[in-house]
Amino acid sequence: MDIVLEQLILFVISLFANGLSALAGGGAGLLQLPALLFLGLAFGTALATHKIASVALGVGATFRHIKEKGIDLRFSAFILIAGLPGVILGALVILAVPDAIARLVLGVFTAGLGIYSWRSPALGMVSSHKHRTLLGWVIGGAGLFFIGFLNGSITSGTGLFVTIWLVAWFGFDYQRAVTYTLILVGLFWNGFGAVTLALQTEVKWEWIPALLVGALLGGYFGANLSIAKGNKLVKRCFEFVTIVVGLSLIVDGVV
């Protein structure tokens, strides 16, 4: 394949996948990771390459969301402290274990999240403070650690888990939950996962520039659209992406 055409294809895939992810609060791996596999990369190399490129999604979204302010630094630190150990642990073990069964289970759960949100019209439409007791923080942190483990290992769609966890457990509205997911998962969780994977396996470095630019622009414009259109569009996009990601993972696990 001509190198210019190859870079253009990678850019378009990254732009679309990360733009949709920035709008829905996760799911960039739905298109980007399978595309890298289709283009001939081994699973470990594709996963590491995707994870490095996906950090730019967090950068692009951060540039847009940071203008809105309203980010609670203490809650942000809680998400990082609870989730990052899981991310690192997941990235350390993924290359040593088969993932078909995990993908199947994850797919059923992911699709279930979308259906649950769709069947709950009021979910995430307004913000409220929930589970801010000691027990609530402990359970919330355990949930984030588990999602972090999934993020470090099975990369497709796990940002969506953080979004729905912040909505369902802590009472965030969808728009605010997506803000935290894109900044903290996109930038920090994916960053730590990328470094851990890059130290263990090969990375397709010549593909990184096109993927980075696509993710950066997709993250910025997707975040801009989510801010402009509000909770209703974000909720609908979340439901669409979770169901599609879930079905994709189920097919992956079965086939």
Higher pLDDT, 204 or 251: 204
d(CA 187, CA 64): 13
Quote the pTM value: 0.81
Residues with Cβ within 8 Å of residue 198, at least 6 apart in sequence: 48, 52
pLDDT over 80 at 115, yes or no: yes
d(CA 163, CA 173): 9
Higher pLDDT, 101 or 6: 6
Mean predicted confidence (pLDDT) in 94-106: 67
Mean predicted confidence (pLDDT) in 14-22: 87
pLDDT of residue 126: 83
d(CA 221, CA 216): 9
pLDDT of residue 99: 60
Cα-trace Rg, the chain: 17
Higher pLDDT, 253 or 150: 150
What tokens appear for 117 in the block? Answer: 């949100």
pLDDT of residue 244: 83
| Pair 52, 103: CB distance under 8 Å | no
Mean predicted confidence (pLDDT) in 40-66: 80
What tokens appear for 27 in the block? Answer: 């799911």
Q: How many domains does the chain have?
A: 1
Residue whose entry in the numeric block shows the structure tokens 């730590």: 192
Long-range contacts of 134-141 (CB under 8 A, 24+ apart): 136/169, 137/78, 139/169, 140/78, 140/82, 140/165, 140/169, 140/170, 141/78, 141/81, 141/82
pLDDT over 90 at 77, yes or no: yes
**Of 236, 245, 220, nearest to 65 (Cα)?**
220
**Of 69, 221, 54, nearest to 151 (Cα)?**
54
Q: What percent of the chain has pLDDT over 70?
A: 91
pLDDT of residue 10: 92
pLDDT of residue 57: 80
User: How do residues 166-203 score in pLDDT, each as one tens digit?
Assistant: 999 999 998 888 888 888 888 888 888 888 888 888 89
Q: Which helix (H) or strand (E) holds 48?
A: helix 43-65
Band of residue 96 on the pLDDT scale cut at 50, 70, 90: low
d(CA 240, CA 118): 9
Higher pLDDT, 82 or 33: 82
Residue whose entry in the numeric block shows the structure tokens 């497709």: 156
d(CA 18, CA 12): 10
User: How do residues 119-175 score in pLDDT, each as one tens digit?
Assistant: 888 888 888 889 999 999 999 999 999 998 887 776 566 788 898 899 999 999 988
pLDDT of residue 171: 93
Tell me the C-alpha to C-alpha distance, in Å, between residue 123 and each of 70, 111, 120, 207, 215: 21, 16, 5, 39, 29
pLDDT of residue 20: 84
Band of residue 42 on the pLDDT scale cut at 50, 70, 90: confident
- Which amino acid is present at 186? G
Domain region containing 190: 3-254
